[in-house]
Structure 1
Amino acid sequence: MPLLWYMCNNGTCCDVRLRKSNVVVVQYRDEGYLVLDGLLSPEECDALRDRMSEITEQMDVPEHCRTQFSTDHDEQLKKQGNADYFITSGDKIRFFFEKGVFDDKGEFIVPKEHSLNKIGHALHAYEPLFKAVTHSPKVQVMTEPSCCEGLQCIYIYIIMVFSITFFGTVGGAVLIHGEVVHRSAANTSDASRHVYTFHIMESQNTIWSPENWLQPTEELPFPSLYT
């Protein structure tokens, strides 16, 4: 289970740690990404997977809330644009599904564990294991500055007409600059892509745009990483 981090646009949250290697600094600033192997232990990854299996098995989603998640622009507008279930999920744990996992009556036609596209967006707040990872000293240190081989998880575009390929490792992390163009294609393999993704932004002298769909709430303000 790799971690996928989206870092602040100005890159300042990486500077302190990354000064130790000018090569790494140059790569991050020029290419907008870093691959960090071994951030989490295999045991930590297994614990996260086990807990996610429990959450998935226990989920009870009403039919009218069985929202398909899509990164396609037109499908986003169609499926999610007016869906309160998605828009109000910033301070909750909710389930979003792949295409073709329900029959005409809204019943599952695939195993629950294979039906999900994502679970969002407040695991870091309400699930102790995920909260511990998100706010762990290992992550905090990195901000002061194998997957299945052949299983495509993400495309990162260095130049708009080219993309790069790299292999991740179990417990590794991919740091992605906030301005990097990237995408994930549909998973058509028989292997699941287990990734825990969280976003980090610099809070000092930064204003969170009111136009962003995900907004902090009174119940769950954006937490400081150092908590």
Structure 2
Amino acid sequence: MAYRLSASPPFKKLSHSDLNWNLQGNTLTSQATLASESDTMTGLTADQVVSFQDNGYLVIPDYLKPTEIESLLAETNTLLDNFSLESHPLTQFTTGDDDKSDHVGDDYFLDSGDKIRFFFEPDAISSEPDPLTGRPALLKPKNLAVNKIGHSLHTLSPPFKAVSLNERNAAVAKALGFKDPRVLQSMVILKQPSIGGAVPSHRDSEFLYTNPPSAVGWWYALQDARPGNATLGMWKGSHKGRKGGHITRRFVRKADGKGTEFVENTGPSLPRGMEEEKVEEPREDELEVLDIKAGSLVLIHGNVLHKSEKNTSPRSRYAYTFHVIEGADGWEYDKRNWLQPSEGGIFEVISIIEVHINTTWGDFPRGTSHIVYG
């Protein structure tokens, strides 16, 4: 089952008002008709686009202003302080990539696509029930026990919405070739000191599958992410078909609606323009461990292999992330994907910018989707 991402739910479009676009040097820029020159939002340079195409990811330092970082950290702390444990099911976030645990898949998780919910670190919860309450007990204060907060911060939290749905991100999406960029699955990943769980190697389009694949992650470092505190590890170029970049499995809801599972992908495994035969798998010695300063944005191709280790350091590693998928005709978001509208509700739709560009950039006509992945 699939549906076309037109103007219908579950997703909306990415930006704002009546925009004027122009090309300054090699940088695509957009400016609202009434905005001042200081408000002009830039997209990506030609070199940045090529780097993303070649490597499958791109680190952009200082993408967030210091005031934006402060605002997002303050909002995160407010959310952690104010959520109640009284009715919380103490849902733990587990990846299910080993033989010891299933991926999280209870209703609290599955119905979180249009809500703000809190998921705990497995190591922060007792293995045996508390004899007084009959429930598992937290082993740490709740603000040090949460693994992540999600999955609709971009619609329900004003500070996170402000850094998600804006002209600059729309310009970046257009530079990456999106025709109708849609935002979904926003979350703060906390990587708590000493217990922040590892995320095994994966490709984001396994979780947010479109036919054909189109996902790109926006990953913002709210604190320094370094080799010592479980930063991102990337296999450079592993989004390409010849480097094993095919989406061979998918993370879906079980057919009975109870829980989640990984299944074989029987649909297209590469974005359009990446029709390559597999030659080799990424090697462990090709892993690049990134050193990312707070305020940086990391763009992550949906087919690139990446992971993060357990945080055994005394320093947390807060990051904010959301994903963008293609909503134009010719792409379908599958109804088996774990992220779906809750019963009786829909995901907020992201507003879109209608872009008409008559100039050219290199060999690519700017009125069309020009990125050829791979």
Q: Into which bin does the TM-score normalised by the smaller protein fall?
A: 0.7 to 0.9
Q: What residue in structure 2 maps to residue 50 of structure 1?
A: 74
1:18-46 per-position Cα deviation (integer Å, ceiling 9, x unaligned)? 4x42x333321121000011111111111
Structure 1 residue 74: Cα displacement: 4.2
Say which SS state the counterpart of residue 52 (structure 2) adopts. helix
- Unpaired runs of at least 5, structure 2: 1-26, 29-42, 131-135, 176-222, 239-281, 354-374
Go from structure 1 to structure 2 and tell me whether the alpha carbon gap of 1:147 and 1:31 turns closer, same or farther (over 3 Å shift): same
Q: What residue in structure 2 maps to residue 28 of structure 1?
A: 52
1:169 paired to 2:293: yes
Identity of aligned residues (%): 34
Give the TM-score normalised by structure 1. Answer: 0.82
2:349 to 197, 200, 223: 223
Aligned-partner residue type, residue 99 of structure 1:
P
Matches within 5 A, 1:1-227: 17-18=43-44, 20-21=45-46, 23-62=47-86, 65-74=89-98, 78=102, 80-81=104-105, 83-103=106-126, 104-105=129-130, 106-145=136-175, 147-149=224-226, 150-158=228-236, 159=238, 160-161=282-283, 162-205=286-329, 206-217=331-342, 219-226=345-352
Task: Give the whole-Å Cα distance in 2 for the aligned partners of 1:71 and 1:164.
Answer: 22
Question: Does the 8 A contact of 1:70 with 1:76 survive in 2?
Answer: no
Structure 1 residue 62: Cα displacement: 4.5
Higher Cα Rg, which structure: 2
**Which of structure 1's runs of 4+ aligned residues deviate more than 3 A?**
15-18, 61-64, 74-77
Question: Does the 8 A contact of 2:225 with 2:231 survive in 1?
Answer: no
Please identify which structure carries the higher strand content: 2
The one of the two structures with greater contact order (alpha-carbon pairs below 8 A, sep at least 6) is 1
Question: Does the 8 A contact of 1:67 with 1:79 survive in 2?
Answer: no
Task: Give the whole-Å Cα distance in 1 for the aligned partners of 2:66 and 2:341.
Answer: 32
Give the TM-score normalised by structure 2. Answer: 0.52
Say which SS state the counterpart of residue 138 (structure 2) adopts. coil
RMSD: 2.4
- Unpaired runs of at least 5, structure 1: 1-14
Q: What residue in structure 2 maps to residue 12 of structure 1?
A: none
Q: Which moved more, 1:183-192 or 1:32-41?
A: 183-192
Go from structure 1 to structure 2 and tell me whether the alpha carbon gap of 1:222 and 1:207 turns closer, same or farther (over 3 Å shift): farther
Task: Give the whole-Å Cα distance in 2 for the aligned partners of 1:94 and 1:49.
Answer: 17
Task: Give the whole-Å Cα distance in 1 for the aligned partners of 2:224 and 2:90.
Answer: 29
Task: Give the whole-Å Cα distance in 2 for the aligned partners of 1:67 and 1:107.
Answer: 12
Task: Give the whole-Å Cα distance in 1 for the aligned partners of 2:116 and 2:146.
Answer: 13
Say which SS state the counterpart of residue 139 (structure 1) adopts. helix
Task: Give the whole-Å Cα distance in 2 for the aligned partners of 1:35 and 1:196.
Answer: 14
Please identify which structure carries the higher helix content: 1
Structure 1 residue 201: Cα displacement: 0.9
